[in-house]
Amino acid sequence: MEFRIGQGYDVHALAEGLPMWLGGVQIPSQTGFVAHSDGDVAIHALCDALLGALALGDIGHLFPDTDDRWKGVDSKKLLAAVLDLPALRGWTVVNADITIALQAPKLAPHIDSMRGTLAAVMGISPARVSVKATTTERLGFVGRREGCEVWAIVLIERK
């Protein structure tokens, strides 16, 4: 049995009046993420973790923000496209663990929805997908509500 582990990290800036997509679900919020895609920073970190597990580069390389095909794209489609890469088709996700640092709004009511949504895209049980949220106690750019940062770790297993 062969296993690989990968980690991913992403940051997006917040701005007034944009939709907030996080972990594949829309979060009611006065602010949303500035991005070429829908700005789902959690999915972007997860994609980079999957790519990192097999040393396949990063999503900025796969889906360049200069390419209009990815303008406003639902990041769930990016995650599905990563999992459908020839190099990843022979692998299955054992588990994923995602940590979101965001000052506001509170994400607790949306955690289970994110877990279920991400698990469905990855074709695994929500029990294998952890989503955790934290504030940064008002410190740094996250604490000043200027942005959001996300760390993701995945373990994959060759089918």
- Can you give the binding site for Mg ion, defined by CB under 5 A? 10, 44
| Residue number, 4 or 36, with CB nearest to Mg ion | 36
> At 5, is the secondary structure helix, strand, or coil?
strand
Q: Which residue is nearest to Mg ion (CB)?
A: 44
| Residue number, 10 or 149, with CB nearest to Mg ion | 10
- Least distance (Å) between residue 64 CB and Mg ion: 12
| Residue number, 33 or 128, with CB nearest to Mg ion | 33
Query: Is the bond preceding 109 in cis, omega lying within 30 degrees of 0?
Result: no
Find residue 93's DSSP bridge partners. 156
- Least distance (Å) between residue 125 CB and Mg ion: 26
Pairing of strands 129-134, 91-101: parallel
- Least distance (Å) between residue 156 CB and Mg ion: 21
| Residue number, 44 or 110, with CB nearest to Mg ion | 44
CB atoms within 10 A of CB 56: 17
124: DSSP letter: S
Residue 60 gets the label, from left (phi > 0), alpha (psi -120 to 50) or beta, of alpha
- Least distance (Å) between residue 36 CB and Mg ion: 8
How many Å apart are CA 63 and CA 82, to the nearest integer? 10
| Residue number, 44 or 115, with CB nearest to Mg ion | 44
- Least distance (Å) between residue 3 CB and Mg ion: 26
